[in-house]
A = this chain, B = another copy of it.
């Protein structure tokens, strides 16, 4: 008799898998490699394992109905879960059982071990010229002889001292203007947006002014808190895009909108709530003033907290679908030929119009979009890497849930979008997980013995230098999957077609799943894991990677054809994934067009960089609009031979093709063997 099993998905990690029904949610989380905090050892006395049962629709998975399939409420739970929370689906993870398919959200408090923030800010050389600037003024106090309005006094002072004329003011700033001017004894700091509109008047000198550069990915959201007076990045925060529960990729989210009357509203609201949560985190943190410090005791004096009104500007870079969903613009046309966006141009929107809670009169700058599938995030990449200003032809590949490609130089720049899917981020892979502690990030397979070595995020040493029990791995992240596939291919375990080769049975690690009969290869034995079972890579996983890499490769090739380019001099890999992969392995499996391996560089989160550039330099906002107008969008799927090329590219390449680039990287006997 088979046990009945149920599909359980944990958010925000996206980790999923089938578990036997009847076990507790905490137990299920363990089996699936998700860490729920249980400091009390499931004695039901700490309440830390509080989780939320979510309702969501996962079309892609073929599960179409809402599922709230946890076991019944138990007495004792009410000790930690309020009536209101209960109403909203909260349960204790150590008490509630899995009875059928479940989508579970782990609140921050329940998560043991943080995701690795891979969208850290890199140093950039930005000319500081923010859209939002501060001016210290001393308006003349009113008197009976001169009883003019407070706003007019400020305008007079701004014109006299800074030659800034014709200023407007957000009417909400007028609300307590007089009180503030009086409190500051008619000395004030005025914040002006684009030399056009006063968005804040405060009393005091040397006041703080911050901006947020927000990079909204389909899967991950990164927020860079910047000091608008120095350009410095003060803090970096990130979260999963809360919309993940409505669909993993852009197309599923558009479908969710089309299938649900309130779909757009819900997705937008969830994202805005999430962003407000990150802003609240910023407000709750303590920061240190950046001034040099001679006396350690002064440190306490330099600590400060940021107030809501100190956050005075936001720039947002995201793909066109995220852009439309955030602003509640109907995203349906993005999914239908000819994929028309509502707008390309950048937008200045009052933060309050979106319900984003910063300085009440502040604006949000939405980077312009290039096309229906290439958005402001790609404009950000171009702003940061500047192919449009250079003579040399550049290929920039931004790999996220969607892949975005840019090719060209100052004379001509084309862009395209390819559907890589979430496999490279560890989703839809049997033991896939995000790049978090416990994930296998590097894999080596000995071509002779087929013995596996790997490295785990959070540990420095490789498996072969460690005791098995120390590895405590619980899954594979994107770079690990890529490595594994490449190594399986190089070792001959997997053939050029991607199928496990029949001529080589590798009896120790190769097997068929007893139930599904799907072939799989064991990367880590159960005793090396924290989930108590073997971690394998399946035939299905390999297919997923093949699809993803083929789509990137085909895109690059079709774009090169368009520009009549045979050979690429250099490749820039943008995005978190680009920063983590082993470029040699990517070449081995044929994800990238042929290129000297030392000319492939990772440029990190270039979209986020470009977003910061737009935040800190208003002239770059104009440049962004120029870029979005001038970049030519190429719809790959409509190119001649697209399907055929894509199919061909799913194969792994001949060694002789990749050889010239891999010499010294891949052992000679492998390069020579075929």
Contact = CB atoms under 8 A, between A and B. Distances in A.
Interface string A344-357: 11010100110000
Given A178-B332, A340-B178, A342-B151, A353 B144 contact: no
A638 B146 CA distance: 13
A329 interface: yes
Contacts of A342: 149-151, 174-175, 177-178
B150 A343 contact: yes
Nearest to A320: B149
A171 interface: yes
A327 interface: yes
A338 B147 contact: yes
Nearest to A155: B345
A169 B328 contact: no
Given A144-B337, A171-B353, A177-B330, 6 more contacts: A147-B371, A147-B635, A148-B340, A149-B343, A151-B342, A172-B353
A378 to B, nearest CB: 15
A144 B144 CA distance: 67
Interface string A622-639: 000000000001010010
A369 B152 CA distance: 12
A533 interface: no
**A interface secondary structure, majority:** loop
Q: Which of A151, A332, A342 has the most CB of B within 10 A?
A: A342
B343 A147 contact: no
B347 A171 contact: yes
A400 interface: no
Contacts of A344: 148-149, 151-152
Interface string A107-148: 000000000000000000000000000000000001110111
Interface string A236-260: 0000000000000000000000000
Interface string A167-194: 0010110111111000000000000000
Contacts of A176: 330
A484 to B, nearest CB: 39
Contact of A635 (B144, B171, B343): B144
Contacts of A178: 330, 332-333, 340, 342
A331 to B, nearest CB: 10
A24 to B, nearest CB: 44
A217 interface: no
Q: Could you say which interface size class chain A belongs to?
A: 35 or more
A330 B147 CA distance: 16
A498 interface: no
A175 B329 contact: yes
A341 interface: yes
B341 A149 contact: yes
Nearest to A328: B175
A525 interface: no
A114 B266 CA distance: 46
A372 interface: yes
A287 interface: no
Contacts of A369: 149
Interface string A362-388: 000000010110000000000000000
A611 to B, nearest CB: 18
Q: Which of A143, A171, A344 has the most CB of B within 10 A?
A: A171
A73 interface: no
A501 to B, nearest CB: 42
Contacts of A341: 149-150
